[in-house]
Amino acid sequence: MGQVHQLITAHGIDAARATSTDKLERQCIDTAFAVMSDESQRVGIMHAGFAMTALPHKDLPETVWTRQGGNVRLTIESGRDAATNPVGLPFGSIARMILLYLQTEAVKTRSRDIELGRSMNQWLSSMGIDNGGKTYKLVREQSKRLSLCRLTFYRIHDTMTQVTNGSFVRDAIMPTVADDQLNLWREAVRLDEGFYQSLIDHPMPVREAAIREIGGRSMALDVYIWLAYRLHSLEKPTPVPWAALFQQFGGGFTHQWHFKSKFKEPLALALAAYPEAVISADDSGLTLYPSPPPVPYRSAITSR
């Protein structure tokens, strides 16, 4: 358990807040307390591949995005609208939260057909996303980008590379009038068969309370999911150099030194949301230590 969690356990939340000296410390304390005091224990599901790769953090002019973590590489290509114009790559925390909803529902129901409309709106609200006004437009825009993009997972081995082509969504109907009040998509979408089967084969449980607390920070989400995947499978302390961290999480940063200076905040928030995590950091990178997973039992995948 990290220092902030020990402080809350020993002295209580009010005393812990009184020790904070800046905004990041206060955010970490509040995040840690929310996760530690969560009674619902609701579980979300992510594809394990997203523990090693991720979507862009911000809107990009490019139409192809590639990231690699370990032996997994993800390439996402922007889809095109009916006029063949690129719609852009999905990005940021909203796209990640929509994906989390789709994947969680698919595993829970064991179905490619996911109910949207009111159900997704209620879930987004429960995760702290007010989907009215400007946010509604962001959700709809990311929904469109997710529904049209193409993706390829590469699993690279010494003697071979396994390639999986597909998309997130197989069938969707989207409104074409910018200011209408139609649903984000139709009342249900059907996930791509390949993506769905890969998700069923490689599901990874995460705590919804943790996702809710850090959901507005896309890199913090990525780091949390990465740690949730890596730590519980380790058998010994494992160093991860800054160069590898930059390759995996540094999309949008030109220089490693700049990424390194900015990585402190998402890492601190991810650790606050994951009380069981044990890591250390120094000038050479991070050292990961064997740690319990954030969701204790894999059976939680199907018991949400």
Average pLDDT of the chain to the nearest whole number: 87
What value does the mean pLDDT take over residues 39-67? Answer: 89
What is the pTM for the complete model shown?
Answer: 0.88
* Cβ proximity of 169 and 143 under 8 Å: no
Q: Which of 126, 112, 146 is nearest to 44 (CA)?
A: 126
Residue keyed to tokens 């059976």:
299
* Cβ proximity of 164 and 198 under 8 Å: yes
Neighbours of 59 (CB within 10 A): 12
* Two tokens, residue 300: 């939680």
pLDDT digits (tens, 9 = 90+) for 192-221: 998 899 899 989 999 999 999 998 899 999
What value does the mean pLDDT take over residues 61-78? Answer: 89
Residues in contact with 35: Cβ distance below 8 Å, sequence separation at least 6, in sequence order: 207, 209, 210, 213, 272, 273, 274, 275
Interhelix angle 218-230/92-109, nearest 10 degrees: 40
pLDDT digits (tens, 9 = 90+) for 232-266: 999 999 999 999 999 889 877 889 999 999 999 99
What value does the mean pLDDT take over residues 103-128? Answer: 85
